């Protein structure tokens, strides 16, 4: 890293060279080259303390939670609940009872579709999503609409294919959908939706609102009560936590009104031969033994993020994204999708691009040979990539707190090598 870029990296209050040291994998090599990880939108890397939290649980207090009247079971239960308290505070929820642990964002959204949706959506009702959604915020609603004979509407992309069309947004919300499920940040474009304003519009129509926070919770301050949404879904593995743990936030009144999804142990207060009484929140939605290690380690991940500061992380990613956009703009035959540098406030740290005459898989493969991990494909947003952009696949790099400008410089160099391999000017 040269001196000037080091200085700019420091401006955001983040020193990625220090942060990189906390992530064991970033000291490793890929294909003989130091790993440069630019695929955090798919999953983030984990700091040592998160990895250690898992080992520590198994080595020191492995026990099932709830009901155990002995010390290590108490410790496990406390730590598990404590992690929910941390996450609740982290996203601005009122209390830990509003945090349901699930496997990931996908499961959180499906939980809402299968419980709230099954009881509240009727034939002919409208469900509103947008054209920029991830498959996990499309398919559960397609399934629900099919089951119930409901109508699934889409908020259209704007003409520049950068964000949502304001006109379409207003028209669709005015139709009074029962449910609006929308992403906070697009995993393809990085576009940030003003979910607070959108929720306010929807609330005027009495619409229930779910925010897909898979790409926002890891990267910027989130306050679900300020947004005013009814549900908020996130994945632990994208925010420094382990895989297999994610969360659904729901407003207490709503969660209380919903039927449990799975039946079994822990989700009940009492069971008789002919009936059961569901447990209190949040346990009502967590049947069976939970992912205890995952919950606890997610709490550790939240500690880490809060220590660095979400404002700082957002600031750092904004700088990196602006820098990447500036450098990419100078490359012949390269097209970046989404908002430009002037609209950096509306853009998260995700940059998708295409290179003339070269397939994204070949781009990834050449990057790989230099130890650089980027993603190629439809990014689980086929309606957007195929239907709107009309391309088979895109290359995508995405940034996080451990990336720095030299990572982007390496990526730019790799693009030069891709062109050389393919003899493209």
Partner 1 sequence: MPLDIYAEEIISQYEHPHNKGKLTKYDVEFHDENPICGDDITIYVKIEKEKIAQVSFEGQGCAISQAGASMLTDFVKGMSISDAKKIDYEKVKEILGLDPGPARMHCAVLSAKALAGALESYMKAHK
Ligand X SMILES: Cc1ncc(COP(=O)(O)O)c(C=O)c1O
Catalytic amino acids? 380
290 binds ligand X (CB under 6 A): no
Decide whether 76 or 129 has the Cβ nearer to ligand X.
129
Per CB under 8 A, 60 contacts partner 1: no
Residues 6+ apart with CB under 8 A from 180: 128, 129, 173, 198, 199, 202, 207, 208, 209, 210
Give the binding range for ligand X (CB under 6 A) out of 82-90, 209-217, 248-256, 365-373. 209-217
**Nearby residues of 137 by Cβ (< 8 Å), 6 or more positions away:** 109, 129, 181, 182, 183, 212
H/E element holding 323?
A: helix 310-328
CA torsion sign for 110, 115, 117, 123 is positive
Specify whether the CB–CB gap between 234 and 367 falls below 8 A.
no
Are the C-beta atoms of 321 and 408 separated by less than 8 Å? no
Q: Is 392 in the site for partner 1 (CB under 8 A)?
A: yes
**Contact call for residue 160 and partner 1 (CB under 8 A):** no
Q: Which of 77, 115, 136, 403 binds ligand X (CB under 6 A)?
A: 136
Of 57-65, 131-139, 303-311, 352-360, the segment contacting ligand X by CB under 6 A is: 131-139
Relative to beta strand 268-272, strand 246-250 is unpaired
Residue 347 makes contact with ligand X by CB under 6 A: no
Identify what 106 binds: ligand X, partner 1, none; CB under 5 to 8 Å per kind: ligand X
Residues composing the chain: 425
**Residues 358-397 within binding reach of ligand X (CB under 6 A):** 380
Which of 248, 393, 401, 408 contacts partner 1 by CB under 8 A? 393
Which residues within the stretch 17-56 sit at the binding site for partner 1 (CB under 8 A)?
31
Query: Can residue 387 be called a binding residue for partner 1 (CB under 8 A)?
Result: no
Q: Smallest gap, in angstroms, from Cβ of residue 311 to partner 1?
A: 38
Distance CA 94, CA 88 (A): 7
Say if residues 210 and 232 touch (Cβ distance below 8 Å): yes
Residue 215 touches ligand X, criterion: CB under 6 A: yes
- When asked if residue 425 is in the footprint of partner 1 (CB under 8 A), the reply is no
Measured distance CA(384)–CA(391) in Å, rounded: 9
130 binds, among ligand X, partner 1, none (CB under 5 to 8 A by kind): none
422 binds partner 1 (CB under 8 A): yes
**Cα distance between residue 359 and residue 394, in whole Å:** 8
Nearer to ligand X (CB atom), residue 265 or residue 377? 377
CB of 373 to partner 1, least distance (A): 12
Question: Which region, judged by CB under 8 A, interacts with partner 1, from 49-57, 345-353, 369-377, 398-406?
Answer: 369-377
372-373 and 375-377 beta bridge pairing: unpaired
| CA dist 152 → 155, 212, 232 (Å) | 10, 17, 20
Report if residue 383 touches partner 1, rule: CB under 8 A. no
Give one DSSP letter per residue of 397-412, joined into a string: EE--TT--HHHHHHHH
Q: Are 229 and 209 in contact (CB under 8 A)?
A: yes
Q: How many residues bind ligand X (CB under 6 A)?
A: 14
Binding mask 348-367 toward partner 1 (x if CB under 8 A, else -) reads ----------xxxxx--xx-
Task: Based on the shown chain and the rule CB under 8 A, indicate whether residue 386 belongs to the binding site for partner 1.
Answer: yes
Q: Kindly state whether residue 220 participates in binding partner 1, applying the rule CB under 8 A.
A: no
Residue 301: name the closest of 245, 221, 374 by CA: 245
- Token pair of 359 as six digits: 């397939």
Partner from ligand X, partner 1, none binding residue 377, C-beta < 5-8 Å depending on class? partner 1
- Measuring CA to CA, which residue among 307, 247, 260 is closest to residue 93? 247
Residues that bind ligand X (CB under 6 A): 41, 104-106, 134, 136-137, 183, 187, 212, 214-215, 235, 380
Residues that bind partner 1 (CB under 8 A): 31, 358-362, 365-366, 368-369, 376-378, 386, 392-393, 421-423
């Amino acid at each position: 890293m040269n001196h000037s870029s080091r200085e700019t990296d420091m401006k955001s209050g983040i020193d990625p060279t220090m942060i990189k040291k906390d992530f064991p994998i970033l000291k490793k090599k890929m294909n003989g080259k130091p790993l440069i990880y630019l695929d955090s939108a798919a999953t983030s890397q984990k700091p040592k303390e998160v990895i250690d939290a898992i080992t520590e649980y198994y080595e020191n207090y492995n026990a099932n939670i709830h009901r155990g009247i002995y010390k290590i079971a108490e410790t496990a239960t406390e730590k598990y609940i404590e992690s929910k308290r941390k996450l609740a505070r982290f996203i601005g929820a009122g209390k830990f009872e509003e945090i349901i642990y699930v496997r990931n964002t996908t499961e959180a959204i499906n939980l809402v579709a299968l419980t709230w949706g099954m009881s509240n959506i009727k034939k002919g009702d409208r469900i509103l999503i947008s054209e920029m959604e991830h498959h996990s915020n499309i398919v559960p609603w397609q399934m629900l609409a099919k089951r119930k004979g409901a109508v699934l509407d889409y908020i259209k992309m704007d003409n520049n294919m950068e964000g949502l069309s304001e006109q379409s947004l207003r028209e669709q919300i005015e139709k009074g959908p029962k449910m609006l499920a929308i992403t906070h940040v697009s995993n393809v474009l990085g576009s940030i939706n003003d979910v607070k304003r959108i929720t306010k519009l929807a609330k005027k129509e009495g619409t229930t609102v779910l925010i897909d926070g898979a790409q926002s919770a890891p990267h910027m301050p989130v306050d679900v009560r300020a947004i005013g949404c009814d549900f908020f879904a996130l994945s632990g593995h994208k925010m420094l936590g382990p895989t297999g743990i994610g969360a659904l936030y729901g407003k207490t009144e709503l969660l209380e009104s919903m039927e449990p999804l799975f039946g079994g142990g822990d989700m009940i207060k009492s069971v008789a031969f002919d009936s059961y009484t569901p447990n209190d929140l949040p346990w009502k939605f967590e049947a069976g033994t939970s992912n205890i290690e995952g919950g606890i380690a997610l709490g550790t991940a939240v500690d880490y993020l809060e220590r660095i500061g979400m404002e700082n992380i957002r600031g750092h990613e904004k700088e990196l994204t602006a820098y990447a956009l500036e450098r990419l703009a100078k490359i012949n035959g390269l097209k970046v999708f989404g908002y430009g540098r002037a609209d950096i406030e509306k853009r998260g740290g995700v940059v998708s691009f295409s290179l003339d005459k070269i397939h994204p898989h070949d781009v990834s493969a050449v990057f790989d040979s230099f130890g650089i991990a980027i993603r190629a494909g439809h990014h689980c947003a086929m309606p957007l990539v195929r239907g709107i952009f009309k391309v088979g696949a895109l290359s995508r790099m995405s940034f996080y707190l451990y990336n720095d400008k030299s990572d982007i410089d390496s990526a730019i160099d790799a693009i030069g090598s891709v062109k050389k391999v393919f003899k493209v000017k």
